[in-house]
Structure 1
């Protein structure tokens, strides 16, 4: 056994306890390996100085050999595995690694922790959080593991990797972990993979970013982190999706009725997503590139033209799956015959785009070119984590997923400016292998009929975003503007940093639930980062513990904290917020402003403000750095009011800035008298409360230049 892996060359506390290795073979045998020789070397590369520990584990009679390599930098360890099963010859019966869990690294006798939060694949397509401190309860298919221990409250994070061939998962074991390496393909006698990254740090959010960066550079996937990707222009505007409005019964008539309603309401919806139900299918398999002829009698292109020309919709997208449709492509369809060179038939006869980037591209290029000619501007691609279910045992999971995403994204880049909403794709093989697309669903579906659905929906989105946000901007799904949890859903999306779109059926849209999220031109008010739970609730379950769920984000120079009561109990909950809840927020003194109550107060950086939430209630706090004689809060009829303020300049008793549009503008000033000029014209100022002022700003075609002058 290998004793106590050190997380860095600086002698930090051991975190993985005792290490042993087991090999699982394809005949079902488990071969325990014994530790033999080890070697410790030192070196340096572009990441800095490192110490590398190489440990060899051997099976009886050298039938199996596994080498673990731990390259330890200052605060991160890259752990690689190299294994081989030794057969007497190539023509005899071969002993191979099991397709699943072929190599298992056992981390035993790990120390107790003060807090733990894991994200595990509870369904093939989605992950959710787990909070139990007992290592043995850690679920299978864990994809992210954060914990805290020790008096210094250091954070530790283990990030399993899915590379070009192999995928690593983590699960609990008595007094420790099992770190499992799988190819999902039979017949392999060798394994070589970056298995996981282990890191430590005082900032849990930066820790996650550092680990993803280290892993992706080691894999030579430099374009994959979210920070390296562009957010799609289309998704910066308000959208509407057909799914929860029509489900599979979507058709041209319903789409045009809804578009007319939105237009009459004056809602600036800029894009429409035609979700599942539009395609021609047989037995849940795609049979044509064309739309269903009964639902779209004049074809998809005619519907798209009407949406754009008659109802002012700027962009239209359509839905499909990564296999074409849920069951793939129908083998007797004309498209199966015409594009046979680009399709793959698996062992059970399912026909899918070929899991080779070049050949798969041929299929997507043909379909996407057709869609582009119909006026389609982007796609939502569903069922992505079914890649494993279609290719299991026949392809390694890394190869299949990488090829599927490369083929899809090459076509989407050519035809749709790489605008994809990735969906049902939170399995590791999907997350690690999308080369260009930047937006991915962050949770299971929004379920409007479920009375208590918001709690699970918010829980998944909040805690999944901790690790998923390092890879992608999160799509937190559509919502209904008339529902038992409509306000909570709207506030949740206001801090998501991703798309905002709704899915009301005809006659059901409430514009008042949308306007706080958007500007008059249809642009959404989008926070700058992907959010995470605040540090004080990272290791607690707000659906069970009597605490609020708190999410932090940023808007320009301001901090944003949304708080929700998602407990399944009927008691009120108490919590507190502070500027210190928002990592990296600059300033010593802040204006706190709460959206719903209009409460305003001055706070120091480490000061806390107490609040109480009733069941299903939420609150939204801004922390705005004090800026001279007057501090702009922003357009307070919007959830993230501070987003509207830019180009702030403070000179003595005068503060000038720009607003994105007119509306209810509030600011804080300790001055004796204040006056406000907008584009040189003086406007009335209303005293809301002590030091809080309001001005109704008109909408003008020119830029809104605001000047607040204060008499001390």
Structure 2
């Protein structure tokens, strides 16, 4: 169950656009003209004097990306002869380039594809980065752009009730496809369905493009403008792969205990699918199943939500009214933050109609109408149980009340946030409700408002949400050996696009998996949260010689502003001949001439002044064990003392390394050596 952070001000259809870096000024005798960086001329799309598309049809129209001043990018659209709910137009022929496309290979998820011509562009492309083949990489850092490699970014957008995407055809044409998701919502005139921008640096070009589209759509903010939930900085645990839907209170507690005993206590916990009250529809009289039904599993009942509160597995046995608060209290007292899972429609099958406790939400059965492009990429949707059996959709007029009732109950039980899954299903349910864009907007506005009301730390994780109607990878599949390289490549390339307006989450992973080191290294550079879903029975202890420990010690500069004196820097290393050198240091205090005291690097209170006119500061340490103690000092220390007794020490001026011997273990009553080093 992969997921991604989406933050307050989330997003209606982001379909992001692109902005751009500069225009070219051409001077002729007695006149000066400003040439747009991106323009359509002679049926060609030209970016910084490089032709990207040829044979642009006459019904394709362009609009300046700037209301005043030099034109930095253009919006593209088209005029059609008649109104349609899914119009498609060619934007011209794409050849002799290199590109990366991020496209939806499933309803829920994006992946990347590379190519060099129009026919290589897949259906449901939501982000296209094109690189010109002409130009020199060597000169790409020069100010002269005449011979640089140029990058053009194509971002399909939301326009009115229509959502756009890109695709190629067999004639190498790049096509713009617009969909309303409702047969009754048609259009024939579009002016701002695609934003095109260009530059010599792909990263800054994407950033500026997203910024330009933000200013145009006014429906989202960029990542640097949003509040990150606290869990992004902590190690966590998710129950999904450990228990799947069979999670229980006992299993949950055992999992937390197992991680803690293994030395890796989680700072946040996500209770996945399995805690809610759900049920299947009353079964009709059984009918004879066809072989096709058996193979496609379309008759497997789809569970639906039957109540706001938890199921009996998470109720306190001697007092059921306590509910999920019992396990939340245990988790928070020991481990801190805690999230729970739910689908954006309540559950996989939605909210079950006809249930007395849920009548006020007025859910009705809806049957997904999956986009043609998605079905082409993911043919199994033709027989998916959710499509065949339908989904109980909460009336959009009541969806804020539904979210608020659910979230306020969870917040009252001590829950800090939610993981909201199955988000892309909304685009398939817009028929008769204003279309895919409108229903997505209504649900996300309600979700944002409820999260803001009930989880002030912006505690919301968005999952299965890789459409541009809402919004960095498919799931982690532990049993599929070929999926791991594909997974990491997909999230890395997706993040070039998604990372501009959200914090990509590269999904959970198993640290003891054969590909665990590969996945762990990727998570370390991702910037997102890290949370393995280990089963309580799986080992979490690394064996001897299967790991390294790196000790990083901050260097303090002794100065009157409590940062230690301009020419004096110090950092303790520990017992340097030991495997875990820094683990020997139990306590650390700095004293400076000003009288302020710095403990563990933090200045506070009134400390005793260092004695002696030449003493700039003292470092006090509590060290366990015995062996060779080492520290870094920018100058030779005046004295080193152990238990108030001066000891001989060595000093390497080239390395700044101070060393001395701790010949014996501390006295049993003290447990640690008290060490003092004078600097001056």
Q: TM-score, normalized by length of structure 1?
A: 0.62
Question: Quick one: distance in 1 between partners of 2:486 and 2:63?
Answer: 47
1:351 aligns with 2:395: no
Structure 2 CA distance for partners of 1:338 and 1:353, relative to 1, 3 Å? closer
- Secondary structure of residue in 2 paired with 1:227: helix
Decide which of 278, 292, 302 is 2:326's aligned counterpart.
302
Structure 2 CA distance for partners of 1:678 and 1:275, relative to 1, 3 Å? closer
Task: Kindly indicate whether the alpha-carbon contact (under 8 Å) linking 1:157 and 1:208 is maintained by their aligned counterparts in 2.
Answer: yes
Q: Tell me which residue corresponds to 2:502.
A: 472
1:422 aligns with 2:469: no
Structure 2 CA distance for partners of 1:512 and 1:193, relative to 1, 3 Å? farther
Question: Quick one: distance in 1 between partners of 2:365 and 2:330?
Answer: 38
Question: Quick one: distance in 2 between partners of 1:261 and 1:167?
Answer: 47
1:316 aligns with 2:316: no
Decide which of 35, 54, 68 is 1:17's aligned counterpart.
54
Structure 2 CA distance for partners of 1:347 and 1:142, relative to 1, 3 Å? closer
User: Following superposition of structure 1 onto structure 2, how do residues 207-356 of structure 1 map, counting pairs within 5 Å?
Assistant: 207-221=205-219, 223-283=220-280, 284-294=303-313, 296=315, 297=317, 298=320, 299-309=323-333, 312-340=334-362, 343=363, 345-346=365-366, 350-356=391-397
1:458-489 residue CA offsets vs partner (Å, 9 max, x unmatched) = 11111111111112101111111211112111
Structure 2 CA distance for partners of 1:652 and 1:224, relative to 1, 3 Å? closer
Q: Higher relative contact order at CA 8 Å, sep ≥6: structure 1 or structure 2? A: 2
Question: Quick one: distance in 2 between partners of 1:161 and 1:398?
Answer: 11
- Structure holding more strand per residue: 1
Task: Kindly indicate whether the alpha-carbon contact (under 8 Å) linking 2:43 and 2:57 is maintained by their aligned counterparts in 1.
Answer: no
Question: Quick one: distance in 2 between partners of 1:637 and 1:507?
Answer: 28
Question: Quick one: distance in 2 between partners of 1:6 and 1:111?
Answer: 12
Structure 2 CA distance for partners of 1:159 and 1:19, relative to 1, 3 Å? same
User: Following superposition of structure 1 onto structure 2, how do residues 107-506 of structure 1 map, counting pairs within 5 Å?
Assistant: 107-113=91-97, 115-149=98-132, 150-151=134-135, 152-173=148-169, 174-190=171-187, 191-192=189-190, 194-221=192-219, 223-283=220-280, 284-294=303-313, 296=315, 297=317, 298=320, 299-309=323-333, 312-340=334-362, 343=363, 345-346=365-366, 350-356=391-397, 359-392=398-431, 394-417=433-456, 418-431=458-471, 442-506=472-536
Shift, 1:13, TM fit: 2.4
Question: Quick one: distance in 1 between partners of 2:540 and 2:155?
Answer: 42
RMSD over aligned CA atoms reads 3.8
Task: Kindly indicate whether the alpha-carbon contact (under 8 Å) linking 1:344 and 1:352 is maintained by their aligned counterparts in 2.
Answer: yes
Structure 2 CA distance for partners of 1:301 and 1:205, relative to 1, 3 Å? same
1:551-571 residue CA offsets vs partner (Å, 9 max, x unmatched) = xxxxxxxxxxxxxxxxxxxxx
User: Following superposition of structure 1 onto structure 2, how do residues 473-552 of structure 1 map, counting pairs within 5 Å?
Assistant: 473-510=503-540
Q: Tell me which residue corresponds to 1:49.
A: 69
- Secondary structure of residue in 1 paired with 2:529: coil
Question: Quick one: distance in 2 between partners of 1:303 and 1:510?
Answer: 23
Question: Quick one: distance in 1 between partners of 2:252 and 2:228?
Answer: 27
Task: Kindly indicate whether the alpha-carbon contact (under 8 Å) linking 1:250 and 1:295 is maintained by their aligned counterparts in 2.
Answer: no
Shift, 1:420, TM fit: 0.7
Q: Which runs of 4+ in 1 moved over 6 A?
A: 40-43, 644-653, 656-659, 689-696, 707-710
Question: Quick one: distance in 2 between partners of 1:475 and 1:205?
Answer: 19
Structure 2 CA distance for partners of 1:658 and 1:41, relative to 1, 3 Å? farther
Structure 2 CA distance for partners of 1:454 and 1:330, relative to 1, 3 Å? same
Shift, 1:105, TM fit: 2.6
1:205-256 residue CA offsets vs partner (Å, 9 max, x unmatched) = 11111111111211122x4221211111233222100001001110101001
Shift, 1:693, TM fit: 8.7
Task: Kindly indicate whether the alpha-carbon contact (under 8 Å) linking 1:78 and 1:215 is maintained by their aligned counterparts in 2.
Answer: no
Q: TM-score, normalized by length of structure 2?
A: 0.65
1:539-590 residue CA offsets vs partner (Å, 9 max, x unmatched) = xxxxxxxxxxxxxxxxxxxxxxxxxxxxxxxxxxxxxxxxxxxxxxxxxxxx
- Secondary structure of residue in 1 paired with 2:57: strand
1:33-62 residue CA offsets vs partner (Å, 9 max, x unmatched) = 6x8xx9x998963xx524xxxxxxxxxxxx
Shift, 1:270, TM fit: 1.4
Question: Quick one: distance in 1 between partners of 2:655 and 2:74?
Answer: 51
How many residue pairs were aligned?
Answer: 493
Task: Kindly indicate whether the alpha-carbon contact (under 8 Å) linking 1:78 and 1:197 is maintained by their aligned counterparts in 2.
Answer: yes
- Secondary structure of residue in 2 paired with 1:304: helix
Question: Quick one: distance in 1 between partners of 2:515 and 2:173?
Answer: 40
Q: Tell me which residue corresponds to 1:91.
A: none
1:307-343 residue CA offsets vs partner (Å, 9 max, x unmatched) = 234xx02122110101100111011223331333xx4
Q: Tell me which residue corresponds to 1:581.
A: none
Question: Quick one: distance in 2 between partners of 1:411 and 1:664?
Answer: 49
Q: Tell me which residue corresponds to 2:26.
A: none
